[in-house]
Structure 1
Amino acid sequence: MAFPVPAHLPRRANPQDVSSEILMKIDQATNQTLTASLATSWLAELEATIQATKSHIHDRIHVDLPKFEQQFESSKSVQTRLQSLASNVDGLSHTLSDPETGLVPTLVRSLTAHASLAQQSADATVRHETLSHLLRCRTEFGSVLSLVQLGKLPQAVEACGEFEQMFRDAPAHLHQTNVMVDLKRKFQATKSRVEEQLSEAYTRSVTVSPKYLEILPSVVVRQSDSVLSLPDVLSSLSTNSLSSHLATLRRDIMTYYVDHFLRQPTSLTVSSDTSLTIFPSPPNSEDLTTRIDNVSATLKFLSTHFMVSLPSSEAHTFSRSLCKPIVTSVLTNLLVPSLPSSFDLLPQFLSLSKHALAFEDEYVVQLLGDDKSDRPIKAWVDGMGGHYERQRRVQILETSRIIILAPESAPDRFLVEVNDKMPEVVPVQSEEGHDASWGFEDEEKPVNGGAADDGDGWGFDDDAEPKSAPAAADVTPAPSAATEDVEDDGWGFDEEETDPAPDPQEPPATNGHHEPEPDAWGWNDDDAQADSTEDTVWDDPWSDPPEKPSAVKNPRPPPAPSITPNTSLSSPASTSSPKMATRLEKLANKGKKHLNGSSPMSSPALSTPISSSPKPTPATPSLPPPPPPATVKSPEKRPPRLSTSVAVPKEMYLVSGRVRQIINIVEDVLIEGRKFAASKILPAIETSSPPGTVLLQSAASILDLYRALYPVKFAGSLKSAQDAPMQFSNDCLYLSGEIARVEGAARGDALAPVKDRLGECRHRLKILGDSWFEDTVEQHRQSANDTIARGAEGFTFTADQDRYDECESAISRAVQEVKRLAQRWKGILNKSKYYTAIGMVTDAALSRVLEDVLALPDIPEVESHRLSELCRILHGLEALFEPFVVAYVPSWLKFSYLSELLEASMVDISYLFDSGALVDFEVDELVGLVRALFADTALRTNTINKLTGGRP
């Protein structure tokens, strides 16, 4: 039963032939449809198809019958020939392959017999060759053993070479045989024994030790009577063994006989022409040329006794291999370490260098055969000047580095006198019949001796003219306005003096002046110090004139002029009642009369002397002193007579001992550099810079090293200690002045190679010293400002006792801080800079108080009294400046007036404003202060309108 094809599968194409169609029909038939008639029909159809095919074939044949018959005959002929060929092939196969008579089996049997005979012949030949070669190897090996036993090592080496050739020529089949492997093992052992005996003979012939060098011309082989010469031993050694021995010999020669000779004193002794013996020599009277002679003797000994025994190829290579190490050792161990550290030792060193040049030419170039164009010793000697300068620079900088990094030593410090090269000519106002309240008396005393000598260590004496200070740093004042022509510049010399309106409450005074009031400042005391009409007070310490037109000037304005525009009147720090207007009026009149009715503060160069007196405590008002005798006013007022006086007071400041050592080194280096440049003992070479340039520039490098190392090494002390920054500033300024002195002392172009660098170092040290001074002062100014700002918190609510205590504590801390700072700086800075620095710190504290008090919107009566008391605490700082407080504290007069204005009446304020006493205050400040102190009344309004209307 046929398998039913699923409907979804593709169907087979219909068959084209009859048999296929019948088979399809048979396949489609089932048990129900298959019948005899159906099968008969299939047979009939098949028969009909067969008949039709036959008929078709027959028709095709008869269509071309002749051709068919021809092809038919041809096929029968082919069949006949095929049968004949098959029979012939069968006969030939029998002839070839028949086991008995066939050709192939017979040939195979013959070839097999021939191959067997050939193999037997080859085996016999190989056996013969093998035995013959082994016999020769045995004979040769026996001869090698006999030579070794007799101690004939050179012949044994040659026999070993021949035996090795026999090994190489041995048949290939012998290489891996047991007998050949065993023979090779025995031969290698014998060869190694020969190498060992040769090495042992070389070791006994050439002996190198730290004490002696021995080279024997011949040696006896151990365990034999044979004697070997050194050339035979060296030529018999293998290439590797000889290279190893020569490398060891070269190392020992360099270590024991070249480096050792060049490093320390030794003596050589040649004994029996075969050995060199070394003896240590005392170094006391040693000539360094002896060391080169010892090396020369060693090389000559080697050349005579050893190098002639070497093979020619090895002798040249060995001698050339010694050239570079020997030359390097001469430079490293002798010439460079012996390079003198002073110019005076150079001539002696030149003889040593010439001896080294002769050694290089005779022994290194000629004896050892080095290249003539490569002569390191000659090149080094030609550049010896540069080597000397560079080595000296290293030594100088190392010495300077040790000095710079050494710990601080207080006993090494010394005082230096300030040397003013350009004294300032100060115009001094000379007027007869001046007001006695300014402290002028008939007797003349110099300003620098105005106060009694308190032994403060400033180093001042009573002489009017300063003594010349040796090698001191130059602190030169800047040109001030006083040195120029005096014109109408606001001094009021050309204006007519007018007397102030007399107060009806006061009795008339002689000569138009009011009678002096009891003054809390003590300006009318009998012991007030007078100022000479020809001497001036302290000059402006910042008024330094430039040393040269090209020098960089200090861009800062003078921080502490003698008299600033804010110093119109003396400080009336009175402790009287705020209602006592008469004393303030009389104080203003005194100042106004003396100053010729105008503000005399327009020129900062004018130095107004102010006598000093102790200040009373805020709680105790001062008692009025007896009035001074009245002075007669001159009937004719003329401009004050100007007298010029050169006042250069001596001032001292403290300098570290290390900077004196540094400047001494700099001077020594410059002297050595000039001497070196002027000398002609060294060979002249073409270089980009003349001789001595490196040495001269080392002087500037010392200063650069100081600027670079000191602030880093001592950074901790510069930050923590109060005196360390000022000490460093003094040191830098001292070095700057000393460099200027050294430059000025040089003649001609002696310092031309380093002149620019020295000028740059001087300028940078000056900037560094000034910067540290200014930064330190600014740091303490900020500290004083912050102390008052954080503690007082604007001086508000001082009526409360707790707040008042806090403000009082803050001001007291600021005062103590300034006083402690003054104690630390007084022994370090010169007097002018000391007053300037302390004055700037004090001014910062006063300015903080002024700013906070003037910013208060309302000041009740109780707070005004307490604020005045707080201000008087700062008056204790006046003792630091007597009698120069106004000159160095710009805010002092303004601050002093503030403490009085806080307790003054509106009449006092109005009168002082009219008299020009309050020029330090801005109009807005005065208006704000009046509004804060007084209630809103018509009088306050009129006073404010008067203030805002402008100054008279």
Structure 2
Amino acid sequence: MAFPIPSHLPRRPNPQDVSSEILTKIDQATNSTLTASLATSWLAELEDTIQATERHIHDRIHLDLPQFEQQLESSKSVQTRLQSLVSNVDGLNRTLSDPETGLVPTLVRSLTAHATLAQESTDATVRHEALSHLLRCRKEFGSVLSLVQLGKLPQAIEACGVFDQVLHDAPVHLHQTNVMLDLKRKFQATKSRAEEQLSEAYTRSVTASPKCLTILPSVAVRQSETILSLSEILASLSASSLSNHLTTLRRDVMTHYVDHLLQQPTSLTISSEDAENQLTLFPSPPNSEDLTTRLDNVSAALKFLSTHFTASLPPSESLSFSRAFCKPIVTSVLSNLLIPSLPSSFELLPQFIGLAKHAVAFEDECVIRMLGNDKSDRPIKTWVDGMGGSYERQRRLQILDASRVIILAPESADDRFLVEVDIRQDKSPAVVPVQAEEDTDASWGLNGSSSSSDAVDDGWGFDDETDPDSAPAPTSPSLPVAESVPAEEDGWGFDDEEEVEPAPATELQEPSDANGHDEPANDDAWGWNDDAPADSAEETAWDDPWDDPATKTSAAVESRPPPAPSIAMSQASMSPASTSSPKMATRLEKLANKGKKHLNGNSPLASPALSAPTSSANRTPAPAPPSSPPPAPAAPPEKRPPRLKAVAVLKESYLVSGRMRQIINIVEDVLAEGQNFAASKILPPIETSSAPGTVLLQSAASLLDLYRALYPVKFAGRLKTAPDAPMLFSNDCLYLSGEIARMEAAGAAKNLAPVKDRLVECRTRLKVLGDSWFEDTVAQHKQSADDIISQGAGGFTFTGDQDRYDECETAVSRVVQDIKRLAQQWKGILNKSKYYTAIGMVTEAALSRVLEDILALPDITEVESHRLSELCRMLHALEALFIEDQEPFVVAYVPSWLKFSYLSELLEASMVDISYLFDSGALVDFEVDELVRLVRALFADTALRTNTINKLTAGRQ
């Protein structure tokens, strides 16, 4: 069955001829349709087609019969010529290629015979040439070998050159032959032997040792009787060998006879004989040496070398060998003689100038004339012309190196000294206000000068035995000082009828640490023993480096803020006639009079017995007795400054490192040397942009810059860990700044113009650096105190709980101890003004944190108020740091002191106390919103609290 054609394939076109049509029909026939008649029809159709084709051909021939016959004859003629050509080609092939008689085999046989004859002739010619050249090589090699054996090395070297050319001209076919290779090996060995003998002869002719230079004019060749001159040896050496020998000789001459002679004191001797020329070196004592002799020695050595060696060199090598010494010799003179000999002081310059002139003459005579250097290239003369700059630069390096040793030297606590400084108004108080003595008692109603027997009932708990002139008198810069009140008027309405004896010192409660253990009495962190004598307390009896009667500051403000009325007030009236009025706020009065010294906390109150925590809602103010209304508050005093007397503080002292004195001495010496150098005119002027002495003068400023750059890096660890190190560094910088200012003033009429701007810049930068270290150190300890209280006290919340109270107590105690320890470390370093300023700022940071945290408490129970008051009184021990000659001046350096002192009292005060203090103007340091928050936190929500808050709010409007 036929394969079916896919429908997508193109179909074959219908056949046009009969055969194709018949075949198609046969293909289309099947078994069922194929019959005999159908096959007969196909045959008949084919026969008809054949006959029709024959008829068509016949008709076509007879259509143009003459032309057909012509073409037929042409075809027959072509066939005949083809047969003739084939026969001729076959005959020619036999003529050319016949093995016996053919032309090509005969020609090949003739050419082969000719080629064989030519090869035989060529072989004979090559053999003749090779033998002839080998015979010549043998003859020349024998000559070379005999000359080497006889020791005639120069002739042997010339013969080697000839034989080398013979080898180079050898036929090509001999290059790789065994005989030629063997001849080359023997020749190379002979030539090497000759060169070795020449090198050995040169080595014996020229000997350069560290102590002796020997040059032989002639030398005998070993194992022969031949004597060679030095010039013959040098001329016969190969280029590479001669170059190596000359390089070695230059190195030895520069090392032993130039550098050594320029570096060490040496004497030399020259001996010349027929068989030997020798230069010998001998060490010389350095004590009486003239440095110019070193140049003379080098000149003699160079002349010796030029006369006995350079003259023997071939002309092509002589000039290059001499000029090769020029640059190394000039460099050696500068680096080994002139530059190291630069004097370290101005007095030695004239002697050195003579050496420099001699060096210029040496350069002209030896380097230029003898060695043939270019006349325009004169480095020594150029350096000598600029010798002033070189001297200044070297001195600069010496100064900075010496300063670097001083700056980087280890710290020594013994190497320090005190510096006195004048205290000026713009830096620290030079005049400290002191209230007139006659107004002290009258202004505050103290009992020191009163004849009343009830004077012991002081509202602030002052002891009757205290001298009024030595009583603490703190004041706040922000609190207006009240006008003086006449002495006969009791300004605070003290109750003269009731006298409360103060508790003895032995009845004070001993403080305990966080673990409940008793603290030792002689190490009281809270200052409970502040009423001890001044020479026994660590806060008031220091080994005071400032304790100089001529320079000691002994002035303080003799003014006190009005105390809370509940502490000692017995009557509401402000005049003596009001003594019969009923007393108010007796609870606070009893606490105040129990072992209490004064408001600033020299002896904090003993903690009262604590009851269970009570909510502020259950705490109500104690109302006044109904039979007597509360007295009207006294009119606020006129806010004007009191009569003051001024005590001028002339000088204070501070500690400075001993290295500062050394640095200042160096700076002064450098400035003096620079001025002398500029004015001397002993050196020729230099055509430069800077005047003589400028580099020296500016070295003084560079020294100060070096100190600023090196010291904080070298001693970075100490500056970070030791509390006194930053303050000492600040003192050092300020001392340097002050000394520079002094030198500027002293040298105003002198020639300091080239360095004046740099000194001013250094002084300013040192001043800024010293102030910055002081401020940064204080800021660091302020932050430390703030962090201790913030992290340890946790905002003073829930102090009714004993554990929380212990944590707060530990934090406050730690701050007190840290500030005291810091005071001990800073006191011997800083001057008084800066010391009290620094300690006051750290104390202020601690008080501000406590104030902020306590005033931010939304609710304070009665137990918490007592405990918070105790915590505040712990910080009162810091007042002892600001007492001199029993005169406290803490408020002059701690602005928040009075506010903080009032806070400790307000925490245990009644509503009436707070109202009275507010009306009397004692609470001016508090903001209204702070007082309102404190009242709301302390007292329950009652009508009295509301009225008090309204009064507080309206009082400042």
Q: TM-score, normalised by structure 1?
A: 0.75
- Compared CA separation, residues 675 and 104, structure 1 to 2 (3 A): same
2:411 partner amino acid: E
Q: What's the CA shift for 1:266? A: 2.2
Q: What's the CA shift for 1:312? A: 1.9
1:155 match: secondary structure: helix
1:147 partner amino acid: L
Residues 815-847 of structure 1: CA deviation (Å, up to 9, x unaligned)? 333222222222111122222222222333333
- Compared CA separation, residues 48 and 518, structure 1 to 2 (3 A): closer
- Asked if 1:277 corresponds to 2:274, the answer is no
1:897 partner amino acid: Y
- Asked if 1:336 corresponds to 2:339, the answer is yes
Answer yes or no: is the 8 Å Cα contact 1:571–1:896 preserved in 2. no
1:648 partner amino acid: V
Residues 420-447 of structure 1: CA deviation (Å, up to 9, x unaligned)? 4779885978979534467999xxxxxx
State the match for 1:150 in structure 2: 150
State the match for 2:611 in structure 1: none
1:743 match: secondary structure: helix
Q: 1 CA distance for matches of 2:750 and 2:838?
A: 40
2:219 match: secondary structure: strand
1:276 match: secondary structure: strand
- Compared CA separation, residues 185 and 47, structure 1 to 2 (3 A): farther
Q: 1 CA distance for matches of 2:220 and 2:880?
A: 106
1:891 partner amino acid: S
- Asked if 1:667 corresponds to 2:664, the answer is no
* Pairs within 5 Å for 1:386-397: 386-397=389-400
Q: What's the CA shift for 1:288? A: 2.3
- Compared CA separation, residues 516 and 760, structure 1 to 2 (3 A): farther
Q: 2 CA distance for matches of 1:203 and 1:785?
A: 86
Residue range with higher mean Cα deviation, 72-81 or 716-725: 72-81
State the match for 2:409 in structure 1: 406
- Compared CA separation, residues 43 and 115, structure 1 to 2 (3 A): farther
Q: 1 CA distance for matches of 2:286 and 2:814?
A: 69
- Compared CA separation, residues 39 and 375, structure 1 to 2 (3 A): farther
- Compared CA separation, residues 285 and 586, structure 1 to 2 (3 A): farther
- Compared CA separation, residues 243 and 519, structure 1 to 2 (3 A): same
2:219 partner amino acid: V
Which of 894, 919, 923 is the equivalent residue of 1:889? 894
Residues 709-754 of structure 1: CA deviation (Å, up to 9, x unaligned)? 2222222222222222221221111111111111111133622222
- Compared CA separation, residues 864 and 703, structure 1 to 2 (3 A): same
- Compared CA separation, residues 871 and 182, structure 1 to 2 (3 A): closer
Q: In the comparison of the two structures, how many residue pairs are matched?
A: 822
Answer yes or no: is the 8 Å Cα contact 1:860–1:933 preserved in 2. yes
Residue range with higher mean Cα deviation, 926-935 or 310-319: 926-935
2:729 partner amino acid: F
Q: 1 CA distance for matches of 2:100 and 2:788?
A: 141
Which of 5, 8, 22 is the equivalent residue of 1:8? 5
Q: 2 CA distance for matches of 1:879 and 1:155?
A: 110
Answer yes or no: is the 8 Å Cα contact 2:96–2:104 preserved in 1. yes
- Compared CA separation, residues 38 and 570, structure 1 to 2 (3 A): closer
- Compared CA separation, residues 618 and 115, structure 1 to 2 (3 A): closer
Stretches of structure 1 that go unaligned for 5 or more consecutive residues are 442-449, 453-481, 483-488, 509-514, 529-559, 590-610, 622-636
* Pairs within 5 Å for 1:515-530: none
Residue range with higher mean Cα deviation, 639-648 or 890-899: 639-648
| RMSD of Structure 2 on Structure 1 (CA) | 4.8
- Asked if 1:355 corresponds to 2:361, the answer is no
- Compared CA separation, residues 873 and 583, structure 1 to 2 (3 A): farther
- Asked if 1:618 corresponds to 2:610, the answer is no
Residue range with higher mean Cα deviation, 158-167 or 873-882: 873-882
Q: What's the CA shift for 1:242? A: 1.6
State the match for 1:783 in structure 2: 784
State the match for 1:245 in structure 2: 245
- Compared CA separation, residues 416 and 520, structure 1 to 2 (3 A): farther
- Compared CA separation, residues 577 and 270, structure 1 to 2 (3 A): same
1:380 partner amino acid: W
- Compared CA separation, residues 69 and 746, structure 1 to 2 (3 A): same
Q: What's the CA shift for 1:777? A: 2.3
Q: 2 CA distance for matches of 1:678 and 1:179?
A: 87
Residues 94-129 of structure 1: CA deviation (Å, up to 9, x unaligned)? 555555555545444444443333333323322222
1:411 match: secondary structure: coil
- Compared CA separation, residues 504 and 218, structure 1 to 2 (3 A): closer
Answer yes or no: is the 8 Å Cα contact 2:734–2:766 preserved in 1. yes
State the match for 2:695 in structure 1: 694
2:325 match: secondary structure: helix
Q: 1 CA distance for matches of 2:731 and 2:741?
A: 15
Percent identity for Structure 1 against Structure 2? 71
State the match for 1:231 in structure 2: 231
- Compared CA separation, residues 437 and 811, structure 1 to 2 (3 A): farther
1:267 match: secondary structure: strand
Answer yes or no: is the 8 Å Cα contact 2:601–2:877 preserved in 1. no
* Pairs within 5 Å for 1:551-630: 569-570=559-560, 578=567, 580-582=569-571, 615=602, 618-619=605-606
Q: 2 CA distance for matches of 1:73 and 1:367?
A: 117
Q: 2 CA distance for matches of 1:859 and 1:37?
A: 136
- Compared CA separation, residues 437 and 898, structure 1 to 2 (3 A): farther
Residues 126-177 of structure 1: CA deviation (Å, up to 9, x unaligned)? 2222222222222222222221122111211222222122222222222222
- Asked if 1:169 corresponds to 2:169, the answer is yes
Answer yes or no: is the 8 Å Cα contact 1:572–1:900 preserved in 2. no
Answer yes or no: is the 8 Å Cα contact 1:579–1:903 preserved in 2. no
Answer yes or no: is the 8 Å Cα contact 2:603–2:877 preserved in 1. no
1:385 partner amino acid: G
* Pairs within 5 Å for 1:487-886: 569-570=559-560, 578=567, 580-582=569-571, 615=602, 618-619=605-606, 647-748=648-749, 750-796=751-797, 805-857=806-858, 864-882=865-883, 883=887, 884-886=889-891
Residues 341-368 of structure 1: CA deviation (Å, up to 9, x unaligned)? 3222222222222222222222222322
- Compared CA separation, residues 38 and 270, structure 1 to 2 (3 A): same
- Compared CA separation, residues 17 and 311, structure 1 to 2 (3 A): farther
Q: 1 CA distance for matches of 2:432 and 2:104?
A: 152
Stretches of structure 2 that go unaligned for 5 or more consecutive residues are 450-467, 471-476, 506-530, 535-552, 579-597, 609-637
Q: What's the CA shift for 1:581? A: 4.1
State the match for 2:324 in structure 1: 321
Q: 1 CA distance for matches of 2:361 and 2:785?
A: 76
State the match for 1:537 in structure 2: none
Q: What's the CA shift for 1:240? A: 1.8
Answer yes or no: is the 8 Å Cα contact 1:562–1:888 preserved in 2. no
- Compared CA separation, residues 109 and 20, structure 1 to 2 (3 A): farther
1:270 match: secondary structure: strand
2:239 partner amino acid: T
Q: 1 CA distance for matches of 2:936 and 2:66?
A: 161
Q: What's the CA shift for 1:708? A: 2.1
Answer yes or no: is the 8 Å Cα contact 2:424–2:430 preserved in 1. no
Q: 1 CA distance for matches of 2:29 and 2:493?
A: 168
2:414 match: secondary structure: helix
Q: 1 CA distance for matches of 2:482 and 2:866?
A: 37
1:949 match: secondary structure: helix
- Compared CA separation, residues 573 and 396, structure 1 to 2 (3 A): farther
1:651 match: secondary structure: strand
Q: 2 CA distance for matches of 1:521 and 1:154?
A: 124
2:776 match: secondary structure: helix
2:717 partner amino acid: G
Q: What's the CA shift for 1:268? A: 1.9
Q: TM-score, normalised by structure 2?
A: 0.74
Q: 2 CA distance for matches of 1:833 and 1:425?
A: 12
Residue range with higher mean Cα deviation, 346-355 or 36-45: 36-45
- Compared CA separation, residues 92 and 586, structure 1 to 2 (3 A): same
